[in-house]
């Protein structure tokens, strides 16, 4: 695996020019075994900056590398990160599946009550 500091990728996605950031990130991800995707939740011309970031990357520290995995949901000035911490990968996947199920149930509720 090629080691490019993942914080560099995080800096790129904060650029105002989203297309440039996407091109650079896609190029870097091609040479790495990693996943880093931001999906914007608002229209391009919206003043709001809601997004979802899915991240899986080996990060090199002075004492060695560590796999960092998280899903971050942001809207305006708040962010919630669901980080794979002490659980194994299967437990983390099940946690994300449960979140997906709850979101789908909430969407169904909203559709029925609009």
pLDDT tens for residues 3-56? 444 444 444 445 555 666 666 665 555 556 788 899 999 988 888 889 999 999
pLDDT tops 90 at residue 70: yes
Residues 31 and 2 sit within 8 Å (Cβ to Cβ): yes
């Amino acid at each position: 695996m090629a080691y490019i500091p993942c914080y560099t990728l995080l800096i790129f996605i904060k650029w105002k020019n989203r297309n440039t950031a996407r091109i650079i990130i896609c190029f870097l991800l091609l040479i790495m075994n990693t996943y880093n995707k931001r999906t914007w939740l608002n229209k391009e011309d919206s003043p709001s900056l809601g997004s979802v970031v899915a991240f899986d990357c080996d990060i090199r520290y002075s004492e060695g590398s560590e796999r960092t995995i998280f899903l971050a949901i942001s809207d305006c000035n708040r962010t919630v990160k669901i980080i794979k911490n002490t659980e194994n990968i299967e437990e983390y996947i099940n946690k994300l599946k449960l979140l997906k199920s709850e979101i789908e149930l909430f969407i169904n509720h909203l559709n029925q009550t609009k």
